[in-house]
Structure 1
């Protein structure tokens, strides 16, 4: 039986799905043959952790899983639940029921060690089925003992098309909205502001409808109205159009040009406009190698670490990581020497297919014929010589003397050049 709502009930609550089939999004978990769908069909519900950003269905899925498994459902929030209240729930199991109740804990990452330990015994004994929800990476925020007893499932932010479906369903099916004529013209802007959060999208729609002129018919929900109720400046940013590429270009050129303030501004424009944080992080990884390279090899390490962190944490916290990285890259020494070197090598490789010199060919495990042909013959093992270096040709004869890499005029690469010059001079003096 569907719950009854009154006008004061928020739209997001009124539109909460009443069955797993009614959920929009999370097909990788709920579609036919997907993990959570199989659990329901098999009548088996183990303890699980649902990991994902706010407003994408963690609480709803927990409630509907318990309902599908015909289990009692107890919802707690880590924000206002202490060990005492937690133990009261754990001790309240109905003695007439053979099924373990589902205890849902929102923001479980906020539980301290004592609170998480209080759950451990009940989960291990099967007295309860735990469903935890967290916006943080559970590998870092849930203790290992509890985590090892739970299956972790990652929920994804809703796509643009899925947010559109959520809003369309609200306009068509909500009992209060059905009595109104609503012309939603701000779909793209709401998508930008929602960042894949269905609850936020529904809240924005509801606020806009409540703020609009009640005498107007149809009620026009445009960008200006949504901007006003969201108290957010209208940001013009087309993620799929020309402006997307222009602002990405501005970000890259600002970092390349060592201007951290401009780089922060253009990146902020992208984030506010709804650009996925991991897209920005991937561009910074490429930039760290292309425009900084061996002038500061740590730049690539930091950018790569940022990409993995952004993917595991998500927005809005990912902005902090991206801000640190973009400032580091912008204020780092720059070099494109290795970028030019690989491009030059690739260009030559497309035109030249010289055979590998015999002394460089594999000399181990070769056939008798290959040995007779001289495979590996004449190769000198550098580690047997001073400084682990021995001058010998490594390019085909027709390419002898070809240079792809030129040391740039930064401290680190010049230090490498000095070392290589010294190495060669030492080898020459030992001949």
Structure 2
């Protein structure tokens, strides 16, 4: 049978005391006291899941909880400690330094010597540097602490490999609006910890709106409900549409200007442009504007898309990107955002080619592979008599004097490399014409060199 320890106290019990619950926010008072009270995380905490079995049996392990704000990371850490009958200690990487970490670890070591484990919860663990993260390693190995780190950032990038190797990463998901609405109903029905004694009237539609506005954050949803309840006190205890409009005004969506959300969304914007889906691209562009993304950063990334993913299939795209960037600089927000929006639509709608991008990368690979190659003598400049006598520029054919304006039998590469082909236009946009011209020209060059016993062209790669 699963262990059912006494209901765990809140994090702030030590500070406020049990007789001062009314001073605590609703979100803190309604913090789940058992796994069954948690909303969301059905995949991670489903009955019979590995983590749930471990928690209910009290056999907990060190772990990293990765998920967005308000998804239940702190609550799950509290429940881990109480199901395991362990001491719970919490520190924040934002507020705590190495001296405090060492003190907490020393206390945990004394507790361990006395036969009691400590669940050490480290909030925003990604903000600790490598030295601070390393301080936990020997204590995790000895079992002095059960380490639970919480982060909103990708652990692969933000945590060092030594810490990751000693912890299991559990991915937590944003809570759905319907699950948040369920948590709100529980708060409205709870006479002891919630709002059940206030006689509030809140429609299902209003709860659904708050659940959506919470944007995956249960804590935010409960906070919005608490504000609505305070405003409704002057309106006969009913949360009306007017009350809700005040509460939900100027709400923001989840967006971290330097974190996982940021990079996920710019990736979605770039890939939607590349996939020629202007509607999806415009949506992600609007999402990033809504999250407060630097507009100049967006203009720079859009210009990169014009160069990398459209290239010579539509050379106008690059100039349009520069023009849109300049328009934003001149107009500012919000007027200048329309210029960037138009650019997003055009970039997603026009012909695509990464041929120039691929050609440039292929040329750079050859530079790395072949090292410092001498410039062929016929391509060198010969401004002095001495240089001419040494053979500089010898054998060079002036292309304008050649038939057709091109000296077909003349190579432009170092002798050790032979002729190379980097740029291979696609059959889209302007590159259709470029491809036709270059294909004919390259065939003519091959034929001219073959007739003189020279090397044919080689394919870069």
Structure-1-length-normalised TM-score: 0.60
Report deviation, 1:228. 1.6
Report deviation, 1:101. 1.0
Q: Decide whether the 8 Å contact of 2:313 with 2:351 is kept in 1.
A: yes
Q: What's the counterpart of residue 136 of structure 2?
A: 119
Alpha-carbon separation, structure 1, partners of 2:163 and 2:176: 32
Alpha-carbon separation, structure 2, partners of 1:221 and 1:270: 31
**Which digits, 9 at most, give the CA deviation of each residue in 1:210-269, with x for residues without a partner?**
11243414x1243x423323441799xxxxxxxxxxxxxxxx89x97999xxx7688426
Unmatched segments (≥5 aa) in structure 1: 236-251, 274-283, 300-323, 339-385, 390-404
Larger radius of gyration: 2
Q: What's the counterpart of residue 138 of structure 1?
A: 155
SS of alignment partner, residue 182 of structure 2:
helix
- 1:91 and 2:106 matched: yes
Q: Decide whether the 8 Å contact of 1:264 with 1:326 is kept in 2.
A: no
SS of alignment partner, residue 50 of structure 1:
strand
Q: How many residue pairs were aligned? A: 308
Q: What's the counterpart of residue 201 of structure 2?
A: 182
- 1:418 and 2:434 matched: no
**Which digits, 9 at most, give the CA deviation of each residue in 1:268-305, with x for residues without a partner?**
269859xxxxxxxxxx9xx99xx9598389x9xxxxxx
**Which digits, 9 at most, give the CA deviation of each residue in 1:320-362, with x for residues without a partner?**
xxxx999778568930699xxxxxxxxxxxxxxxxxxxxxxxx
**Which digits, 9 at most, give the CA deviation of each residue in 1:162-183, with x for residues without a partner?**
1121111111225352121322
1:12-411 aligned at under 5 Å gives the runs: 12-93=27-108, 94=111, 97-175=114-192, 176-179=194-197, 180-184=199-203, 185-217=205-237, 219-222=238-241, 224-232=242-250, 267-268=285-286, 292=310, 295=313, 334-335=350-351, 407-410=427-430
**Which digits, 9 at most, give the CA deviation of each residue in 1:186-229, with x for residues without a partner?**
23432332111111111111111111243414x1243x423323
Alpha-carbon separation, structure 2, partners of 1:271 and 1:19: 39
Q: Give 4+ residue runs of structure 1 displaced > 6 Å after superposition.
A: 255-259, 263-266, 324-329, 386-389, 427-431
Report deviation, 1:85. 0.8
Q: Decide whether the 8 Å contact of 1:54 with 1:197 is kept in 2.
A: yes
Q: Decide whether the 8 Å contact of 1:120 with 1:145 is kept in 2.
A: yes
Report deviation, 1:95. 5.2
Report deviation, 1:76. 0.8
Q: Decide whether the 8 Å contact of 1:207 with 1:229 is kept in 2.
A: yes
Cα 1:406–1:126 change in 2 (3 A) is closer
Structure-2-length-normalised TM-score: 0.57
Cα 1:95–1:194 change in 2 (3 A) is closer
- 1:9 and 2:24 matched: yes
**Which digits, 9 at most, give the CA deviation of each residue in 1:127-147, with x for residues without a partner?**
111000001111111111111
SS of alignment partner, residue 183 of structure 1:
coil
Cα 1:336–1:68 change in 2 (3 A) is same
SS of alignment partner, residue 236 of structure 2:
coil
SS of alignment partner, residue 239 of structure 2:
strand
Alpha-carbon separation, structure 2, partners of 1:233 and 1:129: 37
